Chains A and B, each alone.
Chain A
């Protein structure tokens, strides 16, 4: 298959699948959705097989490209491409969607076919965001995700789902407005929306870059989320159904960090460099605040949700270091992104499984999981250990090397940030161990007394994530070898 067809197919297939799932209804719709998401994964993986050799110089050097006109007046072209920065995220998105659809096929909630259709629409938006090489297209794809996600929360969520969905929609919409202003400003000033050329030779003046990056940073900070723009996240995660939380934490947040790297660092490098330390300071605040708040949480899903604030703080610290010119920082952010997607996705699956069994997420009502449900407890232990950054599992590389990147940059500011981030690492361990102690250890709680052990379909859904957590931990090159060239091309200085 030629490149353009493959790339466009990657968006068209899940879109068609969404329509099919909604039309077929019932079990047939679910089966169709699962089959389509599997096909999407099959289309996504081969993108990484023949990688174009990394070209020298600054810019985006996609391995595969598609470029078709769409709305010329708006500078909107169907310009798609994949490189080392986007490829791991594309595969992760396709994988998580497949796991979620498969999980729905087993769990069968009410109107499951609609939920699966919405998940596929969300997948289209997320994949579009990661693949877009046109700024206007990027914005469109970024927006596509918003309403289906709000619908997933509002339609299948917990008791306070409507408020949470509304907050999510309004908050992220506010961010999108800023993004729109930024995109329009770039397009008007440079008369192009082509990310490849915009990145290779940023023609924006320094002042323009400063305020446009400011807009981008705010918009992406809402999505990532970066402290203090994070408060939509705990509500949304807590109320969302399991599959919603998995997609939300697993890949939706990554649109923010990916946007910062691709658009922020790519189009406005000088603006990024100017605000790097501020961004780093906010990221470290997020790490510390996120972990401290987690120490006080009493609800399982809320705790995991807040832990995302802390973990994404490490990713953002890496990006901040990258904004200051550190390739180590960007690579740490990329692998941190993937690791968080895998581990937090797994944690939300597990939290969902526990809540489905006990109908409570209160830590005080849980306990003794390892007594009767050793598999469930074992996988929870692995996910928690991975999440606290245990070396040998995926979470380690992003956190440790965000710190290394800050140390490498040197200077008082970055060194202080490195020290604080490392302390945040210890706090992360504190709350995750507290979680394990409350849920896994101690005598078996009455709520868990009659609960079932992990079932085979659940284990099938979790196994890929467990394997990935181990594989990326042992072979970080899986993510980083692919991205090394692209990151160097992004952090390289602007040609005079």
Chain B
């Protein structure tokens, strides 16, 4: 059953790549069937309560062997469930959203492979197998972000997404190699069992190296810059990347390998510091962005910061609870945003407004999503954020940052809600109407967990949620954020509440200028280095070779010239030779 979980979407994807472009129904059927098969498999696994490890040798390198191991536990199955649900919603939704796109076939196939890769990461019990899923996911995200041919920035954004995560993966590979070599195996259970026997230095180095990869995938500062740009991909892809796959992989891997981080306090400090910066950075950038998708993208960056913050203090279940909650409401929000963008024909909130009446389904489902994002009860975001904030009590700095983030989140969620659905419309919104059921169905489906999952978890009394007086503070801050946005909206005459920020707004919206910093610190030096190395290689190394060749040729020419000596010189040489011979004969004779 575990095999089916991964192989079904993988095979559907591979076959889908070979289906002729024009055969759209088959492509759609393959895409939806792959995700549906995964969903059935994971539900069956959950129902049976299947957990445990299944190992099979894959290949041996010397005395190190790589295994095809699946390692299932409740956490893995729940995350897999989220992946399968979101993937199915995205496949169904894409069929409607990419209605006129002739390259829909490969697109749907790539989503299937993407899903299979994420499920590999979730279920893998071997570090190398995990790395396979991890990287294939990166490659698929690259292909999918570059899908839209009408956007000139799409290929650039795709390359950026792949490269930034790949830079992090340099560390990830080294971290895995270090752990595997010291444990004598790449099998997860053996590696984790061997962690106590490794030296502190080794474990810390491995944990920090792994974090590099995690920061790349989960868009943590300073490797977060790819995520907002990745908005150039089609909106369903944003939903996929931002919700249950890709960015979730980093969080999940830290949770999965937690014993390594437990043994490396330094790595946890780094994780916490980065989480705090990311949390605030994302929230601040989201406060002023005009592009609806960018607001959501920055909010993903910020929410991932919450998850990482929880992980840094060891609250694994709180982090994964927020991950699942976020998967539901963020997928919902992106698909809703897609619906809005589909109707309006623009990403910019300044061209939206008053969509409440023409698009009631989108309005109500997105209201649930935004309310959940803002952390309003009784939606799931309230409970999961509460679980995370509650776990941070012991770390006053992190806790304070998280509280500030709560208010900011409420502000930007409200701002988006007001600007999209209320106020005055524009000429772009005049003919807006609700989309087909391909688009509406997934919205409704995702609205259910976005609204009810929290209450559900509360009823199961898993001990994750404590409703006490401490809940009040985040709640008050969230309400303050909502009110501030509403006040700004009224003050700007139903315009952009971010106007109260004045000149700071555009700076915040640009992601605090960190793209320029990355450009100056990494991109330019690498380019300059490439220029210098090329010059050395061409003029120096190859120049030496060519020079040697030329020198040989000209030396040959010299010798030839000497051989064609004119008479006087030849005579002189003969005489000189005679003298030398005579002298030698006299002296040694």
* Chain A residues packing against B (C-beta within 8 Å): 167, 170-171, 227-228, 230-232, 288-289, 292-293, 295-296, 326-328, 331-332, 370-371, 374, 378, 381, 385, 390-392, 396-397, 400-401, 403-405, 407-408, 410, 418-419, 422-423, 425-427, 429-430, 433-434, 437, 441-442, 475-477, 480-481, 484, 487-488
Chain A CB within 8 A of B100 CB = no
Would A408 and B156 be within 8 Å (CB), given that A385-B139, A403-B174, A426-B163 are in contact?
no
Q: Is the CB of B64 within 8 A of A293?
A: no
Q: Is the CB of B106 within 8 A of A378?
A: yes
Jot down 22 A-B pairs with beta carbons below 8 A, ordered by A: A292-B529, A292-B533, A293-B533, A295-B530, A296-B531, A327-B61, A328-B62, A331-B62, A374-B21, A378-B17, A390-B136, A391-B136, A400-B173, A404-B180, A404-B181, A407-B178, A429-B162, A429-B163, A437-B159, A441-B154, A441-B155, A442-B155
| Docked CA distance A134–B146 (Å) | 53
Q: Is the CB of A407 within 8 A of B59?
A: no
Q: Is the CB of A426 within 8 A of B61?
A: no
**Residue in B61, B135, B174, B531 whose beta carbon sits within 8 Å of that of A391 in the complex:** B135
Nearest residue (CB) in B for A285 is: B533
Q: Is the CB of B162 within 8 A of A437?
A: no
**Complex contacts, B155 vs chain A, CB 8 Å:** 437, 441-442
| Docked CA distance A401–B128 (Å) | 10
Q: Is the CB of A231 within 8 A of B542?
A: yes
| Docked CA distance A296–B537 (Å) | 12
* Nearest-Cβ distance from residue A124 to partner chain B, whole angstroms: 29
The B522-539 residues at the A interface (CB cut-off 8 A) are 526-527, 529-531, 533-534, 537
* Nearest-Cβ distance from residue B268 to partner chain A, whole angstroms: 23
Q: Besides the contacts A328-B64, A407-B177, what 12 more A-B pairs have beta carbons closer than 8 Å? A: A230-B541, A293-B537, A390-B135, A391-B131, A392-B132, A396-B132, A397-B59, A404-B181, A422-B173, A430-B163, A430-B166, A476-B58
Chain A CB within 8 A of B170 CB = yes
Would A408 and B135 be within 8 Å (CB), given that A371-B149, A442-B152 are in contact?
no
Q: Is the CB of A404 within 8 A of B530?
A: no
Nearest residue (CB) in A for B179 is: A407
**Residue in A332, A381, A407, A427 whose beta carbon sits within 8 Å of that of B181 in the complex:** A407
Q: Is the CB of A433 within 8 A of B162?
A: yes
**Complex contacts, B542 vs chain A, CB 8 Å:** 231
What are the nearest 3 A-B pairs in CB distance? A327-B62, A441-B155, A391-B132
Give the B interface residue count (CB, 8 A): 52
Q: Mark B547-567, 1 if CB is under 8 A from A, else 0.
A: 001000000000000000000
Nearest residue (CB) in A for B542 is: A231
| Docked CA distance A232–B537 (Å) | 12
Chain A CB within 8 A of B142 CB = yes
**Complex contacts, A401 vs chain B, CB 8 Å:** 61
**Complex contacts, A227 vs chain B, CB 8 Å:** 541
**Complex contacts, A419 vs chain B, CB 8 Å:** 170, 174
Chain A CB within 8 A of B545 CB = yes
Chain A CB within 8 A of B418 CB = no
Chain A CB within 8 A of B503 CB = no
* Nearest-Cβ distance from residue B377 to partner chain A, whole angstroms: 43
| Docked CA distance A328–B181 (Å) | 11
Q: Is the CB of B174 within 8 A of A418?
A: yes
| Docked CA distance A217–B518 (Å) | 41
* Nearest-Cβ distance from residue B244 to partner chain A, whole angstroms: 21
| Docked CA distance A167–B543 (Å) | 13
| Docked CA distance A401–B166 (Å) | 17
Q: Is the CB of A426 within 8 A of B152?
A: no
Nearest residue (CB) in B for A330 is: B62
**Complex contacts, B106 vs chain A, CB 8 Å:** 374, 378
Would A404 and B549 be within 8 Å (CB), given that A293-B537, A296-B530, A437-B155 are in contact?
no
Would A167 and B533 be within 8 Å (CB), given that A326-B62, A407-B181 are in contact?
no
Chain A CB within 8 A of B8 CB = no
Nearest residue (CB) in B for A368 is: B149
Q: Is the CB of A293 within 8 A of B149?
A: no
Count of chain A to chain B residue pairs whose CB atoms are closer than 8 Å in the complex: 137
Q: Is the CB of B59 within 8 A of A477?
A: yes
Dominant secondary structure at the A interface: helix
| Docked CA distance A414–B529 (Å) | 24
| Docked CA distance A253–B570 (Å) | 50
Q: Is the CB of B159 within 8 A of A433?
A: yes
* Nearest-Cβ distance from residue B138 to partner chain A, whole angstroms: 8
Would A426 and B136 be within 8 Å (CB), given that A170-B549, A331-B61 are in contact?
no
**Complex contacts, B58 vs chain A, CB 8 Å:** 476-477
Q: Is the CB of A426 within 8 A of B537?
A: no
**Complex contacts, A426 vs chain B, CB 8 Å:** 163, 166-167, 169-170
Q: Is the CB of A381 within 8 A of B549?
A: no
**Complex contacts, B142 vs chain A, CB 8 Å:** 433
Q: Is the CB of A480 within 8 A of B59?
A: yes
| Docked CA distance A401–B549 (Å) | 39
Chain A CB within 8 A of B92 CB = no
Q: Mark B151-187, 1 if CB is under 8 A from A, else 0.
A: 0101110010011001101110110011011000000
Would A171 and B159 be within 8 Å (CB), given that A391-B132, A422-B174, A441-B146 are in contact?
no
Q: Is the CB of B530 within 8 A of A418?
A: no
| Docked CA distance A351–B242 (Å) | 36
Q: Is the CB of B531 within 8 A of A404?
A: no
* Chain B residues packing against A (C-beta within 8 Å): 17, 21, 58-64, 103, 106, 128, 131-132, 134-136, 139, 142-143, 146, 149, 152, 154-156, 159, 162-163, 166-167, 169-171, 173-174, 177-178, 180-181, 526-527, 529-531, 533-534, 537, 541-542, 545, 549
**Complex contacts, A332 vs chain B, CB 8 Å:** 61
Q: Is the CB of A425 within 8 A of B170?
A: yes
**Complex contacts, B173 vs chain A, CB 8 Å:** 400, 403, 422, 425
Nearest residue (CB) in B for A422 is: B170
Q: Is the CB of B135 within 8 A of A404?
A: no
Nearest residue (CB) in A for B531 is: A296
Would A295 and B527 be within 8 Å (CB), given that A378-B106, A429-B166 are in contact?
yes
* Nearest-Cβ distance from residue B379 to partner chain A, whole angstroms: 39
* Nearest-Cβ distance from residue B16 to partner chain A, whole angstroms: 12
| Docked CA distance A434–B162 (Å) | 11
Q: Is the CB of A228 within 8 A of B541?
A: yes
| Docked CA distance A112–B61 (Å) | 43
* Nearest-Cβ distance from residue A91 to partner chain B, whole angstroms: 18
| Docked CA distance A213–B382 (Å) | 69
**Complex contacts, B62 vs chain A, CB 8 Å:** 326-328, 331, 405, 487-488
Nearest residue (CB) in B for A487 is: B62
| Docked CA distance A139–B564 (Å) | 39
**Interface core residue of B17, B103, B163, B170 (most chain A CB under 10 Å):** B170
| Docked CA distance A232–B544 (Å) | 12
Would A480 and B60 be within 8 Å (CB), given that A400-B173, A430-B163 are in contact?
yes
* Nearest-Cβ distance from residue A413 to partner chain B, whole angstroms: 15
**Residue in A289, A378, A418 whose beta carbon sits within 8 Å of that of B533 in the complex:** A289
**Complex contacts, B139 vs chain A, CB 8 Å:** 385, 390
**Complex contacts, A403 vs chain B, CB 8 Å:** 173-174, 177
**Complex contacts, A481 vs chain B, CB 8 Å:** 59-60
**Complex contacts, B63 vs chain A, CB 8 Å:** 327-328
Q: Is the CB of B170 within 8 A of A423?
A: yes
Nearest residue (CB) in A for B131 is: A391
Nearest residue (CB) in B for A391 is: B132
| Docked CA distance A392–B117 (Å) | 10
Q: Is the CB of B162 within 8 A of A293?
A: no
**Complex contacts, B21 vs chain A, CB 8 Å:** 374
* Nearest-Cβ distance from residue A328 to partner chain B, whole angstroms: 4
* Nearest-Cβ distance from residue A290 to partner chain B, whole angstroms: 9
| Docked CA distance A200–B103 (Å) | 59
**Complex contacts, A230 vs chain B, CB 8 Å:** 541
**Complex contacts, A397 vs chain B, CB 8 Å:** 59
Nearest residue (CB) in B for A409 is: B181
Would A296 and B549 be within 8 Å (CB), given that A390-B139, A426-B167, A484-B60 are in contact?
no
Q: Is the CB of B541 within 8 A of A231?
A: yes
| Docked CA distance A477–B177 (Å) | 20
**Complex contacts, B17 vs chain A, CB 8 Å:** 378
